[in-house]
Amino acid sequence: MMHGQKKQGFTLLEMMISITITVIPIMAVAAMLSNGQRTWNNVYSSTFTQLQAESMTALLSFGQWGRRSNRDNYVIYDVTRGNYTEALPRTTDPVEVVSGEAVEFHYWDAVKPSEIMLNVNIEATHYALFYLENKKLKIDRGPYPPQAVQRGKRRSGPNVTTEVIADNVKKVEFSHTIAGGSPQGAVRIVLTMQDPETKKETTVMTTTLLRIGWPR
């Protein structure tokens, strides 16, 4: 009695079904990875663009108040544990760059500028203090005199307004050049910002020229 031979291997249909079953999950995983990468890129680009936008806003604000200020009456501060001390030259060199973590501008902001022009003893009417606190670049503004810093601490009160001009700030440095014991009327800011998720940093800088006098 003859028996039929046992079939060996797979038919073409079975192979196609097997390949299809294998490819589908691979394609699904690839799609998930692709979407994940695209989403991460979008988030990264959005965050980095936001850092750049905030840094540019900070530089514009710095330049705005600096250009209105008296070049003969401003202060750069060293800041240690919330205590402010004036940053002074550390050498006897005739020319030295002095830097600190805060700067106080004194500027003119009067309803009737003609009254100020007639009084040459008025050096400024208001102050603008730039400083770093809790990873935020802030600016305090208030009437002058007195100065923004009293006994090593920032002034506070109903006449003082505080504005945050940049978040996620890792470091800020203000500097100017002292020549022959006199400041040269130009203040530089170097601002380093850090993305809180990726830790990527971006550093920007600019220099502002202060007024000689109002309107002298």
In this predicted model, what pLDDT tens digit does every residue of 189-211 receive, in sequence order?
Answer: 999 999 888 888 889 999 999 98
Distance CA 13, CA 6 (A): 18
CB 20 within 8 A of CB 13: no
- In the chain, what percentage of residues exceed pLDDT 70? 71
The better pLDDT of the pair 137, 199 is held by 137
Q: What are the backbone angles phi and psi of residue 106, rounded to the nearest 5°?
A: -120, 125
- The residue ranges of every structural domain in the chain are 57-209
pLDDT the model gives residue 200? 87
Structure token digits, residue 61: 């604000």
Helix, strand, coil shares, percent, the chain, to 5 = 30, 40, 35
pLDDT band of 49, cuts 50, 70, 90: confident
Predicted TM-score (pTM) of the model is: 0.76
